[in-house]
Structures are given as structure tokens and as C-alpha cells.
Amino acid sequence: MTTPPHRLPDVAATALDDGTAFTLRPVDPGRDRDLVHGWMNDPEVARFWEMAQPAPRIEAYLRRQVLSAHSTPYLGCLDGEAMSYWELYRADLDPLAVHYPARPRDAGVHLLLGTSRFRGRGLGARLLRAVSDWQLSVEAYAERVVAEPDVRNTRSVRAFERAGFRRVRDLDLPDKRAAFMVRERPA
């Protein structure tokens, strides 16, 4: 396997405001396949990610993400327990860039919270703030982080807003109508 030219650091760690340790670690497609497969096939996740597929297809998807030239897949862990899947990417190099006025080095984020016990507690907003802070700290030339959750996913849109993202407008993307969200680098 070759290493993609754009790669974020292998691990990020931070303490959340309640003292919980949150870390990101790179996805290992073989080792993490079944976990991510279970999450993608959860009806609440599948409704918006549209990746309720057999485990081998999820593994192939994860392998493509690992080899991507502009995206890095991670598992998010709370106190060592894997509980979320992240894709952190260069939005200006992504197909998304043709749908909005992309700026050089725009960072992007996709997130899913795994099992339902991590949803509906405000955790998504806290994690989005921590991860977007980290993205802006490691991508020195990035001025902002963008996201495009499905407009029907009102819980996700609210989490982005509580994390400091603002809804700029809605976008008609090939696979969904998305709320285009932006979090600017703090002044």
C-alpha cells in the first residue's frame, strides 16, 4: 500500500470538558470492518449514510478511504472505547468543491456516532468542536472547516450549530440535499 500524499497525524487526543479522554485513531479496514459495518447497518445511521451493505463492501470502502489522496478515516474513542467514525478531508480537493465556493486548504468533516447510547446527549456537538479545533490546529493554512449533513438529519445539523458551525445555505448534491455548514478559524 502506498501512503496518500495528504495525511493528517495518526492520533489526536483531548480531554472533553467533563474530563473524558477522546482520541482519534486511523481506521484499520480489516480490524475495524465489523464494527463500522454494524454502525452503517444501524437503521438510524443507514438512513443518512446510505451504506447499509455487507461487511466485505464496508471493508472495501474503508480501504478506499485509507488510500484516498485527500481524506483520512478515523475511529473516535471515548476513554478507549470506539464509538464514532470520522472522515476528515481536504474539502477543496473533494468533489464537494464544485458545489460551493471552495477556498484553498478548506478542511471537511463527516461524522457518525456508533451505538445509540452515544446519541442524543449533546456529545456530537462537543466532539465536533474538539475535532474541528484539532483540524484547524494541524492544518495551519486552513481558514475553516466545512460540512454537509443531510438537511433531513436535524439532530446532526443542530449538533454542528452547537459546535460553532453556521448554516450558510442548502446544496443539492448528487446523493442528497445538504445543509452546507462552516466553522471559521477563531480570530
Q: What CATH number is attached to the domain comprising 139?
A: 3.40.630.30
* Residue 1 maps to a domain: no
CB-based contact 47:38 (threshold 8 Å): no
Catalytic residue numbers read 148
Averaged pLDDT of the chain: 90
* Residue 148 maps to a domain: yes
Is residue 4's pLDDT more than 50?
A: no
* Residue 52 maps to a domain: yes
What is the pLDDT, as a whole number, of residue 21?
Answer: 85
What is the pLDDT, as a whole number, of residue 34?
Answer: 97
* Residue 162 maps to a domain: yes
pLDDT band of 157, cuts 50, 70, 90: very high
pLDDT band of 121, cuts 50, 70, 90: confident
* Residue 89 maps to a domain: yes
Answer yes or no: pTM beyond 0.75.
yes
* Residue 7 maps to a domain: no
pLDDT band of 115, cuts 50, 70, 90: confident
By residue range, what is the domain housing residue 143? 12-184
Is residue 74's pLDDT more than 50?
A: yes
Is residue 2's pLDDT more than 50?
A: no
* Residue 6 maps to a domain: no
Residue % of the chain over a pLDDT of 70 = 92
What is the pLDDT, as a whole number, of residue 3?
Answer: 37
Is residue 101's pLDDT more than 90?
A: yes
Instruction: Compute the average pLDDT of residues 155-178.
Output: 96
Is residue 8's pLDDT more than 60?
A: no
Residue % of the chain over a pLDDT of 90 = 77
Is residue 116's pLDDT more than 70?
A: yes
116 or 57: which leads in pLDDT: 57
The total domain count for the chain is 1
